[in-house]
Structure 1
Amino acid sequence: MAPYPNVLVGYDGTTESDRALRWAADEARLRRLDLVVCHCWRWPYPISHIDYDIEETVKKMGRHLLDRGADRAAHLAHSVKIHKRLMDGPAYAALMHESPEAELVVIGSHEQDELPVGSTALQLPARSRRPVVVVRQAAAAHERVVVGVDGSRGGDAALAFAFEEAALRRWSLEAVYGCWEPGAVAESELALFADEEELARSCGGRLQRAVAPWRDKYPQVQTRTSLVMEGPRTALLTAAARADLVVVGDRGTGSVDPLLLGATSSALLHHAPCSVAVVHAERT
């Protein structure tokens, strides 16, 4: 049995959550896992105005939405076992509660540049210890995964997830290293930025070493590497325009609050034109 025996998806009946449901159904089918469809209902008035009859009506509406989502999932993936979770409170909190048993979590999102502060699509990738896929509607189907490489533990975890995803979906993969980030390197490496050729040799070697074991493990995945003399955010946002999924670690080589995403991951969640997966390194 897999250590995390399901794919978890949040569903609220919107177009965005329907796209997430479709992606999650594909994941469950390809990974041969159960699919858990979660809907969160919320009391829409101040707690001091509780009316139990109205509360029951709100619950029934939530149950109806959940049933509709589960039926839709069963239609999308006939061979997958579907489970339903009706929960109350914020979607972020409910999905966090369910996520420890998930192989990955899938949620829908507004289009780029439209994510409100505090949205589930920002909070859940920052705090869940499981991979989170934030699904957007891409302009075209490229059948390509782009993954960010930077030599960090989060970057290595992103590579593992990206290669597995590319193999499952039979997509190609592009590993992108935006190496122009002097603010995130040790002081001993700052001199490299005065010699672009030496920087390219050093970072190019790091990129090839990071990708090599995954190329060996997944020889069927058509793989290319791209070393880019730009910051990682710019490099990955450019590459995301030709991808269906971009995969990043939760944080790179810079030092950030452990409860927050790194700057590159946050930028991609806000601005990437395709779906985004955020993968956390295993805790040691």
Structure 2
Amino acid sequence: MEKHVAVGVDGSAESRAAARWAAREAVARHVPLRLVHAVDWPLDPVLPGLGKQDVDRWADRALTETAQELHERHPGLEITSRCPTGRPAAALAAEAADAALLVLGSRGLGGLVGFLIGSVALSTVVATDTPVVLVRVADDPDGPGGPGSGAPAEVVVGVDVQEAGDRMLAFAFEEAQRRGWPLRAVHGWKMPPAYAYVPFFDPDNERDIGRSVTHMVDDMLLPWRHKFPDVAVTTSVFMGSAGERLVQASQGAGLVVVGRHLRRSPLGVHLGPVTHAVLHHAAAPVAVVAHA
């Protein structure tokens, strides 16, 4: 049996949107949903005069109200609640350890597309190996234009022919198949640095490299096409910034899937420039999948 879906809940509009998104995902996967409210105690001096009982009541109310709403929307969905104590990022990461997916809410950037990534969400993303999906209020599946409205959508995944992205591709293809959506694989490439010093550049070289990279992307996707024959796959291979093109592709997407390295550098875990750009500017829910 597949693992449950977990979602961070704090009573905010962002967390309610994330909870609705997570509930639909749990129903689609036929697994339970776990609501998690992480309590960082003590809160003083941030909220002076607020006692532990007040915090507990606040947490209970957030969990109860969210569970009631989701039960009304999905009567057959099994919903449980957890209220761990400790630093929110660490608590959420711990709760995600036995989950198939962790969903978090994130504030939108007002009139701009994209996310305002708080320290808790960012710290949680790099603290867990479980896939994490960030959802804004605008991504509410039951809102206008959301995935629940019947609007056309697709799964967009950023691929890198230099990386072993099996976990990321498996996640992307499974999500596309589960939703009945097409999948678009996006890959950006750059000319080798040595070409910056070539006085007379032959445009045929660029075309040859582009064709070679396209073949590499096709070879990378071939086993996944065979494994998921019902998923319609298109590719977008170009010379330029992958992050920029993924952000553009997110405009018509229902989900954008990007990766991050599992391995750590001496300075800690880094998301990478492409994932960082997508997290801050995508116009759709973003799934971050750790890979080797």
Shorter chain as normaliser: what TM range? 0.7 to 0.9
1:216-260 per-residue CA deviation (whole Å, 9 max, x = no partner) reads 1111112111112212111211111221211011149xx896612
1:127-165 per-residue CA deviation (whole Å, 9 max, x = no partner) reads 210100111224844421100111244533221111100
- Residue 33 of structure 2: aligned partner: 35
CA RMSD of aligned residues (A): 2.8
Structure 1 50/237 Cα, relative in aligned 2: closer, same or farther at 3 Å?
Answer: same
- Residue 243 of structure 2: aligned partner: 233
1:56-95 per-residue CA deviation (whole Å, 9 max, x = no partner) reads 1221221111111122222233222111001233321211
Offset of 1:209 from its aligned partner?
0.9
Q: Is the 8 A contact 1:156 1:210 kept in 2?
A: no
- Residue 76 of structure 1: aligned partner: 73
Offset of 1:279 from its aligned partner?
0.4
Q: Is the 8 A contact 1:251 1:263 kept in 2?
A: no
Structure 1 216/192 Cα, relative in aligned 2: closer, same or farther at 3 Å?
Answer: farther
1:2-37 per-residue CA deviation (whole Å, 9 max, x = no partner) reads 3xx211100111111111111111111111111110
Q: Distance in 1 between matches of 2:32 and 2:98?
A: 11
Q: Which amino acid aligns with 1:23?
A: W
Uncovered stretches (5+) of structure 1, i.e. residues with no partner? 184-190
Q: Is the 8 A contact 1:22 1:73 kept in 2?
A: yes
- Residue 186 of structure 1: aligned partner: none
1:86 aligns to 2:86 (yes or no)? no
- Residue 148 of structure 2: aligned partner: none
Per mean C-alpha deviation after superposition, the further-off stretch among 258-267 and 125-134 is 258-267
1:193-215 per-residue CA deviation (whole Å, 9 max, x = no partner) reads 98211211221011101111111
Q: Distance in 2 between matches of 1:61 and 1:89?
A: 16
- How do 1:146-225 and structure 2 match up within 5 A? 146-153=156-163, 155-180=165-190, 182=192, 195-225=205-235
1:123 aligns to 2:120 (yes or no)? no
- How do 1:255-270 and structure 2 match up within 5 A? 259-270=269-280
Offset of 1:266 from its aligned partner?
1.1
Q: Which amino acid aligns with 1:115?
A: L
Uncovered stretches (5+) of structure 2, i.e. residues with no partner? 146-150, 194-200
Q: TM-score, normalised by structure 1?
A: 0.85
- Which of 55, 60, 63 is equivalent to 1:58? 55
Structure 1 24/231 Cα, relative in aligned 2: closer, same or farther at 3 Å?
Answer: same
- Residue 196 of structure 2: aligned partner: none
Offset of 1:192 from its aligned partner?
11
- Residue 111 of structure 1: aligned partner: 108
Q: Which amino acid aligns with 1:122?
A: L
- Which of 20, 23, 43 is equivalent to 2:21? 23
Q: Secondary structure at the match of 1:241?
A: helix
Q: Distance in 1 between matches of 2:203 and 2:67?
A: 53
